[in-house]
Structure 1
Amino acid sequence: MANIIVVSAHPDDEVIGAGGTLLKHAQKGDKIYWLIITGLFEEYGFSKERIASRNEEIEKVAKMLNVEKTFRFDYPTMQLHSATVIDMVPKISAVFKEVDPEYIYTMNRSDAHSDHRIVFDAVAACTKSFRYPGIKRVLMYECISETEFAPALPEKMFLPNYFVDITRFIENKLEIMKVYASEIDEHPFPRSIENIKALAHFRGASVGVKYAEAFQLIKLIDKD
């Protein structure tokens, strides 16, 4: 049994990028922890109703993913910047020391959304083996509508090299994604149920399974 932590800049990232993989971990008996970096606030233009519905979504998704514990930092969404990393690193460090994760799933370092890039930098600072000896794998997940819209430059490419067969979990993943009703729309909007399933179909075809999620492996430590 392993401890798993998935880091979301915003709720829905975790389902889009790693929902099927998290369900697979849960079925194996692994403990899943969820770290959400940002939140919604009235002073930034969100209604009380939207804030309440977002809190309900988080609770429902946590239950559907069998999350052991959810950590919420509640930085204002779309307001992260480079200075935030300095404030965020010790907070992430405290969570990692509490959870002692073997697997860390986090944002892609070059996503179009600046919040995703900032979160990656802060998480990466908390993966030093001499401080977090339990870590065995650090993986970036792709987030449809952000990863593919990064500038097409060599240093900003998402290079999948780690694939998880989620064939048995694809329908559950899509049902969980529907909880985030305000974040999805009809094709050709990138975050449509159709497109999320199509990406899993494509990733599966590239590794000989029906549906898969793709990750970029940043660190692998093979130890007992």
Structure 2
Amino acid sequence: MKVLVISVHPDDETLGCGGTILKHNELGDELYWLIITKADASLGFSDEFLLKRREQIKKVCKRYGFKKMHELSLLTTKLHTIDFSDLIQAISKVINEVKPEIIYMNNRSDIHTDHQVAAKAIMSCTKSFRYPFIKKILMYECISETEIAPALPENLFIPNVYSDITEFIDKKMEIMKMYESEVQEPPLPRSLDNIRALARYRGSSCGVDYAEAFMLLRERF
């Protein structure tokens, strides 16, 4: 089984489906990672931060067992300034190369504009009549992005698929720690306590200790 995990920003994959990625790896599935944006000195990031981020991404990639990592290297926080057709073309190129059967992607209504733009483009890149090899598309939630979206009906994240990650929760937390600059202190949302608490809450919804929740966009048997 070929699996493509899409991160608008590095760390999205761990927050949203880190335990599920580890599960796919244990099952022997073929894992691929697409990172859409990057930090850059032109946006005020220090050379030290950029160097650390590169090392973090390499370590995370190895820890998950991704067969290949694709990077579009578009500027973070600036996706809304890019020609939409160019974004679609770049994502489509990766999808056509990997030919995944399962895709994990960011939630389309997260508060972060990058997530919104990328999700819209990804959905354009996964039409069934153009990409018949795709069997399942799942949107994941990112704590501090998904739950903070305005409380409007069209922004609701309504999970209908749950992945039992009880066996992998500790490894997920260890990988999240690699993203040092992204981990916050309680009670802020991206604290390790809150990330674990969300997994605990999602687990309670499906009768297991820890789980990750998804919205199923499409499935073909």
TM-score between both structures, scaled by the size of structure 2: 0.98
Q: Distance in 2 between matches of 1:146 and 1:110?
A: 9
Give the C-alpha shift of residue 85 in structure 1: 2.4
Number of paired residues? Answer: 221
Pairs within 5 Å for 1:1-224: 2-81=1-80, 83-222=82-221
Instruction: Give me the whole-angstrom Cα distance separating, in 2, the residues matched to 1:15 and 1:44.
Output: 24
* Shift in CA distance, 84/198, structure 1 to aligned 2, threshold 3 Å: farther
Give distance in 1, aligned partners of 2:36 and 2:164: 27
Give 3-state SS (helix, strand or coil) of 1:178's partner: helix
Deviations, residues 142-185 of structure 1 (Å, cap 9, x unaligned):
00000000000001100100000000000000000000011011
Consecutive unaligned residues of structure 2, counting only runs of 5 or more, are none
Displacement of 1:40 after TM fit?
1.2
CA distance in 2, matches of 1:89, 1:28: 31
Aligned structure 1 segments of 4 or more residues deviating by more than 4 angstroms: none
Supply the AA of the counterpart residue of 1:150: A
Aligned counterparts of 2:48 and 2:81: Cα–Cα separation in 1 = 31
CA distance in 1 between partners of 2:180 and 2:137 (Å): 30
Q: Distance in 1 between matches of 2:43 and 2:70?
A: 22
- The whole-number CA distance in structure 2 between the counterparts of 1:55 and 1:128 is 33
How far off is 1:82 after superposition? 6.3
Q: CA RMSD in A?
A: 0.9
TM-score, with length taken from structure 1: 0.97
Q: In 1, Cα distance between the equivalents of 2:184 and 2:137?
A: 31
Code of the aligned partner of 2:133: G
After TM superposition, give the deviation of residue 83 of structure 1 in Å: 4.4
Gaps of 5+ in 1: none
Of 89-98 and 161-170, the range deviating more from structure 2:
89-98
Counterpart AA for 1:61: V
Specify the code of the residue in structure 1 equivalent to 2:54.
N
Q: Output the CA distance in 2 between the equivalents of 1:210 and 1:20.
A: 13
In 2, Cα distance between equivalents of 1:9 and 1:84: 16
Shift of 1:49: 1.1
Distance in 2 separating the partners of 1:99 and 1:192:
34
Change (3 A) 1:52 1:27: same
- Separation in 1, partners of 2:129, 2:103: 16
Matches of 2:87 and 2:79 in 1, distance apart?
10
Distance 1:15 1:157 in 2: 21
Instruction: Give the drift of 1:128.
Output: 1.1
Q: Distance in 2 between matches of 1:153 and 1:5?
A: 30
